[in-house]
Amino acid sequence: MAEEKAVVVSLPDANTPVEQDTATPLPPASASPAAPTAGIPNGGLQAWLQVFGAHFLWWNTWGIAYAYGAWQSYYTVGLLHERSPSDIAWIGSVQSFLLLFIGVLTGPVYDEGYFHTLLIVGSGLIVFGMFMTSIATQYWQIMLAQGLCTGLGMGCLFTPAVAHLSTYFSTKMPTAAGLAALGSGIGGVLVPVVFHRLQPRIGFPWATRVIAFLCLGTLAVPVLVMRVRVLPPQRRKIFTLSPWKDPAYSLWFLGAFITFLGTWTPFFYVSLYAFELGAASEATAFYLVAIITAGNAFGRVVPNLMAQRFGMYNILILCTIITAGVTFAFIGTKTLASIIVVSFLYGFFSGGLISLLPLLAVQLSPIRAVIGNRMGMAFAGAAMAVLIGPPTTGNLLDNHGFNAAFAFAGVSAIVGALSLTASRVCHGGWKIMMKM
């Protein structure tokens, strides 16, 4: 299919990912780096249509990924009851891994102007994968359809969802990005509710097909309304050694990796925990995925606003520490009410750390030209953590119970917070009250 080529401009933007010594240095850490505003619409019908389209890209990437906990619970007590929770978690882990990892690899494809190709291929893979999931009856079939095929589709859409809006917005970029990313929260809330309202009435195949039709309808929006305005002047690099010479970046990467090992544990297992604890019926327990995702949606907004005043490092470390505490609190929850409260709090504070972790790549980048490269390597590392994290906690659950699984997730967050604190010290020193 012939792909339209947008005009390449020489003005660098915040997503220009090629390292060059002559690039403009970033503002101080206390400032909010923004792309040069010359030529960027920063509003208007066409620009806001891009936000509308990106909203549904987030809906069908992270929204679907967050909602996998609903399928995890159903498979564990239903279709795949003969398989262990760890085995079943690999399906969602592969899906989330491909979302991040393929998203890194498709960056150069996006830079070459094949934006609509990525949209069409990614949308087709997601819809096809969900339809194939609806007719799957065995573990390997679900892994291929929901894990591999759908995950590949998500990976094709991830880069456009993240990078596209920076070519249309400058000073309004935080608002535009927030409205777009809100799609992950809305999708993550609606999808499990729809699935579990329909599954007892019309069965697993047709409930999953309804989700597939929802994906088809919502993905038609970005395909129809999103358009390339400009292309980066140079191709992005996938890997370079120079960032690893910066202790602050290396410690930040390590902290992000360790934290992500346990972050997805409640998303995958909270419904099963409530059901096996006897605190909720099977039907009620499934709604906990929607509750934790709703908290996550709020957590992507409020901590970001606080970070503008108190500094990204400070709020990120605080969110990570509180996330660890809330994770340990799951061990003491025995009633449905307490599980609901803890689930929402976990979603809120983990949403803060998930949204702020990538933004630190901007603050740690000495020049604008290396932002995309550094974020790409970070996403690849996060992908590996997401791949092995949920199955690891699933194995702990199999052999030692839920307490061990939640303890592992909590310890991961504590160790991650310590590494992030060390990164903060390397970047800006020991002054605790400094805005960083």
Return the minimum-mean-pLDDT range out of 71-85, 210-224, 225-239, 373-387: 225-239
The answer on 178 and 320 residing in a single domain is no
Last residue of a domain, one of 189, 208, 235: 235
User: For 187-210, what is the mean pLDDT?
Assistant: 90
Structural domain includes residue 20? no
The answer on 241 and 206 residing in a single domain is no
Structural domain includes residue 30? no
The answer on 250 and 202 residing in a single domain is no
- Which one is predicted more confidently, 368 or 91? 91
CA atoms of 55 and 99, how far apart (whole Å): 16
CA atoms of 139 and 137, how far apart (whole Å): 7
Confidence (pLDDT) at 31: 37
- Which one is predicted more confidently, 166 or 187? 187
CATH at residue 204: 1.20.1250.20
Structural domain includes residue 33? no
Confidence (pLDDT) at 331: 92
CA atoms of 336 and 309, how far apart (whole Å): 36
Confidence (pLDDT) at 129: 96
Element (H, E) at 213: helix 173-225
The answer on 127 and 256 residing in a single domain is no
Provide the 10 A C-beta neighbour count for residue 359.
17
Q: Is the pLDDT of residue 35 over 60?
A: no
Q: Is the pLDDT of residue 340 over 80?
A: yes
Structural domain includes residue 121? yes
Count the helices and strands in the chain (H runs, E runs).
Answer: 18, 0
Q: Is the pLDDT of residue 365 over 90?
A: no
The answer on 433 and 315 residing in a single domain is yes
Return the minimum-mean-pLDDT range out of 19-23, 61-65, 175-179: 19-23
Mean pLDDT of the residues in the chain: 81
Q: Is the pLDDT of residue 172 over 50?
A: yes
Confidence (pLDDT) at 246: 81
Give 158's contacts (C-beta < 8 A, 6+ positions apart).
Answer: 61, 99, 100, 102, 103, 106
Structural domain includes residue 2? no
Q: pLDDT-derived band of residue 122, with 50, 70 and 90 as boundaries?
A: very high
- Which one is predicted more confidently, 71 or 181? 71
Q: Which amino acid is at 69?
A: G
Q: Is the pLDDT of residue 311 over 90?
A: no
The answer on 377 and 285 residing in a single domain is yes
Q: Which amino acid is at 23?
A: A
The rounded percent of the chain whose pLDDT value lies above 90 is 30
Q: Is the pLDDT of residue 11 over 50?
A: no
CA atoms of 250 and 90, how far apart (whole Å): 28
Structural domain includes residue 6? no
Q: pLDDT-derived band of residue 165, with 50, 70 and 90 as boundaries?
A: confident
Contact assessment for residue 321 and residue 417, using Cβ atoms and an 8 Å cutoff: yes
User: For 74-96, what is the mean pLDDT?
Assistant: 88
Q: Is the pLDDT of residue 98 over 80?
A: yes
Give, as one character, the DSSP assignment of residue 244: G
- The backbone torsions φ and ψ at residue 25, rounded to the nearest 5 degrees and listed phi first, read -60, 150
The answer on 265 and 152 residing in a single domain is no
Confidence (pLDDT) at 238: 63
Q: pLDDT-derived band of residue 362, with 50, 70 and 90 as boundaries?
A: low
Q: Is the pLDDT of residue 303 over 50?
A: yes
Q: Is the pLDDT of residue 205 over 80?
A: yes
Confidence (pLDDT) at 2: 40
Return the minimum-mean-pLDDT range out of 26-35, 136-145, 261-270, 378-387: 26-35
Q: pLDDT-derived band of residue 209, with 50, 70 and 90 as boundaries?
A: very high
The answer on 399 and 328 residing in a single domain is yes
- Which one is predicted more confidently, 213 or 182? 213
Tell me how many degrees the CA angle 305-337-400 measures, rounded to the nearest 5: 95
Q: pLDDT-derived band of residue 30, with 50, 70 and 90 as boundaries?
A: very low
Return the minimum-mean-pLDDT range out of 5-14, 261-270, 415-424: 5-14
CA atoms of 14 and 38, how far apart (whole Å): 13
Give, as one character, the DSSP assignment of residue 356: H
User: For 139-147, what is the mean pLDDT?
Assistant: 95
Q: Which of 120, 168, 93 is nearest to 3 (CA)?
A: 120
The answer on 200 and 241 residing in a single domain is no
The domain total for the chain is: 2
Q: pLDDT-derived band of residue 366, with 50, 70 and 90 as boundaries?
A: low
Last residue of a domain, one of 220, 235, 250: 235
The answer on 177 and 82 residing in a single domain is yes
pTM of the model: 0.77
The answer on 139 and 100 residing in a single domain is yes
Last residue of a domain, one of 181, 203, 235: 235
The answer on 163 and 145 residing in a single domain is yes
Max CA-CA distance within the chain? 62
User: For 22-44, what is the mean pLDDT?
Assistant: 51
Q: Which of 152, 128, 151, 123 is nearest to 221 (CA)?
A: 123
Return the minimum-mean-pLDDT range out of 35-44, 75-84, 214-223: 35-44
User: For 125-135, what is the mean pLDDT?
Assistant: 96
Q: Which of 3, 218, 219 is nearest to 109 (CA)?
A: 3
Q: Is the pLDDT of residue 81 over 60?
A: yes
Confidence (pLDDT) at 216: 96
- Which one is predicted more confidently, 28 or 120? 120
Structural domain includes residue 126? yes
Contact assessment for residue 132 and residue 145, using Cβ atoms and an 8 Å cutoff: yes
Structural domain includes residue 32? no
Domain range for residue 341? 237-436
Return the minimum-mean-pLDDT range out of 73-77, 143-147, 279-283: 279-283
Enumerate the β-bridge partners of residue 25. 367
